[in-house]
Amino acid sequence: MRTTMRRKWELAVALSLLTFLSFPTVSFGFTAHRTLLNHISANAKYLPTQELWFNQTLDHFSPYDHRHFQQRYYEFLDYFKVPDGPIFLVICGESSCNGISNDYRSVLAKRFGAALVTLEHRYYGKSSPFASLTTENLRYLSSKQALFDLADSLNAKLNRTKSENPWFVFGVSYAGALSAWFRLKFPHLTCGSLASSAVVLAVYHFTEFDQQIGESAGAECKEALQETTKLVENRLATNKKQLKALFNATDLEIDGDFMYFLADAAVIGFQYGNPDKLCKPLVQAKKAGENLVDAYSRYVKDYYIGTFGADVQTYNQKHLKNTAVTGGSSDRLWWFQVCTEVAYFQVAPSNDSIRSSIVDTRQIPYLQSPLYHLDLCKNVFGEDIFPDVAATNIYYGGTKIAGSKIIFTNGSQDPWRHASKQISTPEMPSYTISCYNCGHGTDMRGCPQSPLNPEGNEKNCSDPDAVRKVRQKIIEHMDSWLSECWDTDRKFM
Ligand SMILES: *[C@@H]1O[C@H](CO)[C@@H](O)[C@H](O)[C@H]1NC(C)=O
Ligand SMILES: *[C@@H]1O[C@H](CO)[C@@H](O)[C@H](O)[C@H]1NC(C)=O
Ligand SMILES: *[C@@H]1O[C@H](CO)[C@@H](O)[C@H](O)[C@H]1NC(C)=O
Ligand SMILES: *[C@@H]1O[C@H](CO)[C@@H](O)[C@H](O)[C@H]1NC(C)=O
Ligand SMILES: *[C@@H]1O[C@H](CO)[C@@H](O)[C@H](O)[C@H]1NC(C)=O
Ligand SMILES: CC(=O)N[C@H]1CO[C@H](CO)[C@@H](O)[C@@H]1O
């Protein structure tokens, strides 16, 4: 009896998928995001999915406001074991969500006979409630609203009350934090959560980020990077125009924007498992006594812009002020979330930093303060916009999150792991995958993390066994939590 309604709905979906022969084209071109955690969804390979729409509540926390907006979602049912197979909710994060990406989660879905469902994050991609992204209109953009979107769509669309399907949530990066927070706030709606490279701690002075870059780089490369930064700082003082032109970044009029762009370019090598693209030529240039700034500019132009696909404009505060809904809106949207909730301000440590302290200060060297970031928030969004990090961490618990049945995973080379939960507890096991090119979301993406490997193949990780071991643990936890869920369900039958 309980299954009748749900079956009918599933069947309708399955039929609509069957009759849908051509796959939707990706609507937006690649957009890179400054300091964005999850750069790479746009070059993802997708499982065949059709765009579906959910009529979503705009403000989940107001009893007076009944406005709605259309939110995009996808389903993939090829592996789904009807009727009571599990449903994997794959959370989409801070970028346009153009489908269900074909990473390790599709392997898990095959193994568990699961359906995959994914909901685009409100405001991003085609799920913008407003035609103009003014600061006033961004007031409903928050992780709290996003979590409620997930709960709402899960509850309504698959009608929990009628369903025996156990739900499991997944996310990488900011979406990884959402995955952990979803299980924390809605434990009755899900059997467990995988929180991959999940940045659950809002951080105001994120100095560990830069320190991790030094650690991941190793002594030789770190030294070359630090020397490069010094040389760049000198040239910035003496020959700014020529320097910016060398990096094809003359549009970045604000020096902080320019220096942030250069710092991010190095980060990406380690975050996404391509350290050799950066370190090999730089160390070689240093050994040969060649000009390090020239060598670094080649990496930035050939690799960061050319191959990785970064766009200099995403570092331009002028661009961030653009309120039109475009393929590049994610930059502005993510900065709004950074400037209101989570910060993750990547400042230079006072000692031994790799990035320039110009990023942090108004030309006052070695003062550890996120003035650049705060200036940006004010310039782009207006006077009163700054992040209340303490409130965010009180609301979710930060690394002291009091959840259960959440798996945390991190990559050893990933600077973001210092905003994640790295200490294991019985209810919330945490695993660090250690290898030379293990970065952001390695458990789901394999190596390197960009470009994406189909099904998150781990073959090219410098230690594939390290990845396999953690994946085995993930499967064991899922097995046990899903069967506990089924048992509980049956008790109520
Ligand atoms: C969305 O739901 C609201 C409230 O139920 C309703 O008023 C509105 O017409 C719906 N919009 C669409 C496009 O279905
Ligand atoms: C969900 O269940 C309720 C009854 O519990 C039913 O009235 C409603 O139509 C169901 N919705 C869907 C989408 O199946
Ligand atoms: C540098 O900028 C010019 C002009 O904007 C552009 O045509 C060229 O493709 C850029 N080069 C790289 C490597 O991005
Ligand atoms: C600064 O960093 C260097 C290199 O890591 C270290 O040897 C030194 O002890 C540090 N100094 C302080 C004051 O922390
Ligand atoms: C591994 O690297 C090789 C050589 O670069 C490449 O040809 C191959 O496609 C990669 N395999 C995977 C699964 O990424
Ligand atoms: C489970 C695990 O590997 N935890 C490690 C994660 O990283 C921290 C900090 O590097 C270590 O102290 C933990 O042992």
In a domain, 7, yes or no: no
The residues with which 68 forms a beta bridge, in sequence order, are 57
**In a shared domain, residues 419 and 383:** no
Is 362 part of a structural domain of the chain?
A: yes
The CATH number that applies at residue 421 is 3.40.50.1820
Burial class (CB in 10 A: 0-12, 13-18, 19+), 95: buried
Domain stops at, among 337, 364, 389: 389
CB neighbours (10 Å) of residue 298? Answer: 16
- What is the tally of structural domains in the chain? 2
Tokens of 405: 């049945």
Annotated catalytic residue, options 360, 440, 443, 450? 440
| DSSP string over 184-200 | HH-GGG-SEEEEET---
Q: Using CB atoms within 10 A of its CB, is residue 287 exposed (0-12), middle (13-18) or buried (19+)?
A: exposed
Residue nearest to atom 7 of ligand 5 (CA): 460
Task: Please provide residue 167's backbone torsions phi and psi, each rounded to the nearest 5 degrees.
Answer: -105, 140
477 among known catalytic residues: no
The reply to whether 166 and 214 lie within a common domain is no
Of 414, 420, 443, 450, catalytic: 414
**Atom 14, ligand 6: which residue's CA is nearest?**
423
Domain annotation covers residue 242: yes
Task: Show the domain range for 437.
Answer: 35-200+399-491
Q: Judge if 83 and 177 occupy the same domain.
A: yes
Q: Is the CB of 67 under 6 A from ligand 1?
A: no
CA of 351 to the centre of ligand 4 (A): 6
CA 152 / ligand 1 centre spacing (Å): 14
Instruction: Based on the residue annotation, tell me whether 193 is a catalytic residue of this protein.
Output: no
Q: Are 449 and 40 in contact (CB under 8 A)?
A: yes
Q: Is residue 255 part of a domain?
A: yes
pLDDT for the residue 159: 53
| Cβ 125 vs Cβ 98: under 8 Å | yes
CA of residue 410 to ligand 5 center, whole Å: 22
Residues 6+ away with beta carbon under 8 Å from 462: 435, 436, 437, 438, 447
The number of the ligand 2 atom at minimal distance from the alpha carbon of 157 is 13
Whether 307 and 382 map to the same domain: the answer is yes
Ligand 5 nearest atom to the CA of residue 460, by list position: 1
**Which of 162, 163, 164 maximizes ligand 2 atoms within 8 Å of its Cβ, making it the mutation to test the pocket?**
162
Return the pLDDT at 487: 77
Q: Are residues 343 and 226 in the same domain?
A: yes
Residue 23 placed within a domain = no
Asked whether residue 144 falls in the same domain as residue 225, the answer is no
Domain boundary among 332, 362, 389: 389
Say how many residues make up the chain: 493
Query: Rounded to 5 degrees, what angle do the CA atoms 349, 316, 121 make?
Result: 85
- Mutating to test ligand 4, I would choose from 210, 351, 353, 368 the residue with most ligand atoms within 8 A of its C-beta, which is 351
Specify the residue with its C-alpha closest to ligand 2, atom 13: 157
Residue located nearest, by CA, to atom 2 of ligand 4:
352
pTM of the model: 0.89
- Work out which ligand 3 atom sits closest to the CA atom of 248: 1
Q: Do 417 and 410 form a contact (C-beta atoms < 8 A)?
A: yes
Phi, psi dihedral angles at 427 (to 5 degrees): -80, -25
Across the 493 residues of the chain, what is the mean pLDDT of every consecutive 10-residue run? 35 31 27 44 73 96 97 95 92 95 96 96 98 98 98 74 80 98 96 98 95 98 98 95 98 94 97 98 98 98 95 96 95 97 93 86 51 92 95 98 98 97 97 98 96 95 98 98 80 40
Residues 466/458, Cβ–Cβ less than 8 Å: no
Give nearest CA residue, ligand 4 atom 12: 351
Which structure tokens are listed for 135?
Answer: 């600061």
Atom of ligand 5 nearest to the CA of 453: 14
| pLDDT of 99 | 94
User: Is the C-beta atom of 352 inside 6 A of ligand 4?
Assistant: yes
Q: Which residues of 134-155 are buried (b: 16+ CB within 10 A; e: fewer)?
A: ebeebebbbbbbbbbbbbbbbe
List the residue whose alpha carbon is closest to atom 8 of ligand 1.
68
Determine the Cα–Cα distance for residues 309 and 279; give it in Å rounded to an integer. Answer: 19
Does residue 311 share a domain with residue 276? yes
- Say how many Å lie between the CA of residue 77 and the centre of ligand 2: 21
Query: Which ligand sits nearest to residue 207's alpha carbon?
Result: 4
pLDDT digits (tens, 9 = 90+) for 322-348: 999 998 999 999 999 999 999 999 999
Q: Catalytic residue at 142?
A: no
> Are 45 and 87 contained in the same domain?
yes
pLDDT of residue 48: 83
Ligand nearest to the CA of 432: 6
Q: Is 136 in the pocket of ligand 4 (CB under 6 A)?
A: no
Q: Which residues approach ligand 6 with their CB closer than 6 A? A: 422, 424, 430-432
Query: Domain for residue 225, yes or no?
Result: yes
166 and 258 part of one domain: no
Residue 330 inside a domain? The answer is: yes
- Is 487 domain-assigned? yes
What letter does residue 467 receive in the DSSP assignment? Answer: H
Note the pLDDT of residue 84.
Answer: 86
Report the pLDDT value the prediction gives residue 486, as an integer from 0 to 100: 80
Q: Regarding beta strands 46-47 and 100-101, do their DSSP bridges make them parallel or antiparallel, or are they unpaired?
A: antiparallel
* Residue that is last in its domain, among 371, 389, 407: 389
187 CA distance to ligand 6 middle (Å): 26
Q: Which atom of ligand 6 is nearest to the CA of 434?
A: 3
Rounded (5°) CA angle 36-435-178: 35
Taking the C-alpha atoms of residue 190 and residue 405, their distance in angstroms, rounded to an integer, is: 10
Q: Are residues 168 and 268 located together in one domain of the fold?
A: no
Tokens 């019985």 correspond to 426
324 and 407 share a domain? no
- 11 vs 16: CA distance, rounded Å: 8
DSSP designation for 327:
T
Among the bound ligands, name the one nearest to the CA of residue 54.
1
Q: Are 116 and 174 part of one and the same domain?
A: yes
First to last CA, the chain: 10
- Cβ of residue 368 lying under 6 Å from some atom of ligand 5: no
52 lines ligand 2 (CB under 6 A): no
| C-alpha–C-alpha distance, residues 338 and 138, integer Å | 13
Of 106, 127, 173, 356, the active-site residue reads 173
For the CA of 4, the nearest ligand:
2
